[in-house]
Structure 1
Amino acid sequence: DFSINKNLSIVCFNEKKWIGNGLVIPSGPLREDLSALKRASCVVINGKKNTDIENKIFNENKEAKIFYTQYKPQNINEFKNNKIIAFAGIGNPENFFDLLKGNKLNIVETIKFPDHHQYSEKELKNLLSKIKENNTILLTTEKDYFRIFESYKKNIKFLKIKVEIENKSQFIEEIKKII
């Protein structure tokens, strides 16, 4: 038997999207029904503190430990004096675009692709033609950057993002208690 005993369950949410339409993939954003929170050891919410969400989590699991994370751009200043066309093929591209706008970058256009998108040469050529026409730079996520053909990377920049966990030491202690 090659099964692994599961003794730690960390559930993650985005504070803005929360549970979306409340449905499970493929009809909605959830990977499991909300009742799966009953077995969660920790819940991680990316975004601002939200007591409404916390109360809904505690309705499902009074013992859950809730932690918050924030995305912290690492190289944002590299792009401050540029006109930018931002593109992303991630689960919630609006988060990426909002992060750029919230850091006062000059975003002239945003382009969304499906999550886990594999960029075609045609799409990349189209993106590159836009920067020549508009005297802009192309900016994407680090995740997307690594799905781009090598020959196109020199003309595309990516935002380096670090995830900061509030109460990180407490989060680590909770995990250590379980494992």
Structure 2
Amino acid sequence: MKLSTPQWWYTRERSPSPVLRALLTPPSWIWAWATARRIAGGQPVDPGVPVICVGNVTMGGAGKTPVVREIARRLGGHVLTRGYGGAQAGPLRVEPHHTAADVGDEPVMLATDLPVWVARNRAAGAMAAAQAGAPVIVMDDGHQNPSVKKSLSLVVVDGETRNDEWPFGDGRVFPAGPMREPLKAGLARADAAVLLLPADLDAPDPELLRSLASVPVLIARLQPAEPPPPGPQVGFAGVGKPWKVERALKAAGCELADFWPFPDHHAYAESELARLADRATQFDAGLITTEKDWARLPPAWRARIKPWPVRAVFQDEAALDALLRPHLPREAAGG
């Protein structure tokens, strides 16, 4: 059973009891030690083409996938992902007949406009993509995975700091907090950070920028690719931080009558979808969800539920291109 992301990880005024905090601290030390040991002992495989890793230092909800999509589009690259939640171990290229149950929700979503490879063994997946002609590989996640030689490592950071929220919590490592590893260790292996802001936030938090001072920072905004549909809507999302989807819909002008959060990568049961439909009927409303959630819906429900696409828009595209240019395919770079 998947568990929802604890909101207290990210909110300063919400914290667990001292007893729970004490119980979670020793496992967090073990997690941090094991992660550092795995990274130090890695023997990365070079697939023979540039590998751009787009990862993060927290357990999820930073907005990594839209950044992966934007960078892969710019580079004309192939996406490599683990395919979380899918039954296929790979390596395989995602095809139109694949479902989220086969390869995971994010690969299905990304494969609508990009070549996407799924592989639990990242090194094998990178080699398969390169052998199939991928000029550049954009690896979705894997900042803590040492199995593939990375040409460029980016970490995506959630820049939404309203309502006393903090992207890194108090800096504690999982399960005592949201960090996959200590922030200093994660940034030490990064070439740059992508600070992803919601569309309606004017500027990044200065304190957050100071915490990222050891690396170059690119600012991007999560923009709606299209406006929400008119009229009342019942929204739902099973992502890392579902409360952010609710806020974004409201900020985009959606007349949100109700919103239901679910755990990340949640597999929707027919009974749950029926309850959502009943709730929409009560409000004479439509149903709306994220592209990622829509990819997990049974085909019969897709016609009844509106996907709401978003994209990462970089504030300084020239700075992004300068960072990526050395890793363009030779012919595109003029070589």
What TM bracket, shorter-length normalisation? 0.7 to 0.9
The structure 2 residue matched to 1:66, chosen from 203, 217, 222, is 217
Q: Which residue of 2 aligns with 1:8?
A: 152
Q: Which residue of 2 aligns with 1:34?
A: 183
AA paired with 1:57? L
Deviations 1:54-82 (A, max 9, x none): 11111xx2xx11011111112215x13x1
Q: Which residue of 2 aligns with 1:146?
A: 295
AA paired with 1:135? D
Structure 1 unaligned residues grouped into runs of 5+: none
AA paired with 1:49? P
Q: Partners in 2 of 1:154 and 1:31 — Cα distance?
A: 37
Q: Which residue of 2 aligns with 1:50?
A: 205
Give, in angstroms, the shift of residue 27 of structure 1: 3.9
Q: Partners in 1 of 2:171 and 2:236 — Cα distance?
A: 27
Q: Partners in 2 of 1:30 and 1:5 — Cα distance?
A: 23
Give, in angstroms, the shift of residue 25 of structure 1: 3.5
Q: Which residue of 1 aligns with 2:241?
A: 92
AA paired with 1:56? S
TM-score, normalised by the number of residues in structure 1: 0.87
Deviations 1:66-110 (A, max 9, x none): 011111112215x13x11111000111122111111122211111
Q: Aligned pair 1:166/2:315, yes or no? A: yes
Note if contact 2:44-2:149 (Cα within 8 Å) is conserved in structure 1.
Answer: no
Percent identical pairs in the alignment equals 25
Q: Which residue of 1 aligns with 2:79?
A: none
Q: SS where residue 288 of structure 2 aligns?
A: strand
Give, in angstroms, the shift of residue 116 of structure 1: 1.1
Q: Partners in 1 of 2:224 and 2:235 — Cα distance?
A: 15
Give, in angstroms, the shift of residue 7 of structure 1: 3.5
Q: Partners in 1 of 2:226 and 2:287 — Cα distance?
A: 15
Give, in angstroms, the shift of residue 26 of structure 1: 3.9
Deviations 1:159-179 (A, max 9, x none): 121210111221121133478
Give, in angstroms, the shift of residue 2 of structure 1: 6.8
Cα–Cα, structure 1 residues 104 and 2, in superposed 2: closer, same or farther, change >3 Å? closer
Q: Partners in 1 of 2:205 and 2:232 — Cα distance?
A: 34
AA paired with 2:219? Y
Cα–Cα, structure 1 residues 117 and 164, in superposed 2: closer, same or farther, change >3 Å? same
Q: Partners in 2 of 1:176 and 1:29 — Cα distance?
A: 33
Structure 2 unaligned residues grouped into runs of 5+: 1-42, 46-147, 161-165, 198-202, 329-335
Number of aligned residue pairs: 173
Note if contact 2:240-2:263 (Cα within 8 Å) is conserved in structure 1.
Answer: yes
Q: Partners in 2 of 1:122 and 1:76 — Cα distance?
A: 29
Q: Partners in 1 of 2:313 and 2:239 — Cα distance?
A: 20
Q: Partners in 1 of 2:252 and 2:326 — Cα distance?
A: 38
* RMSD, aligned CA: 2.0
Cα–Cα, structure 1 residues 40 and 2, in superposed 2: closer, same or farther, change >3 Å? closer
Q: SS where residue 150 of structure 2 aligns?
A: coil
Deviations 1:119-176 (A, max 9, x none): 1111111111112222111110011000111111111111121210111221121133
Q: SS where residue 9 of structure 1 aligns?
A: strand
Q: Which residue of 1 aligns with 2:254?
A: 105
Higher strand share: 1
Q: Which residue of 2 aligns with 1:126?
A: 275
AA paired with 1:129? D
TM-score, normalised by the number of residues in structure 2: 0.48
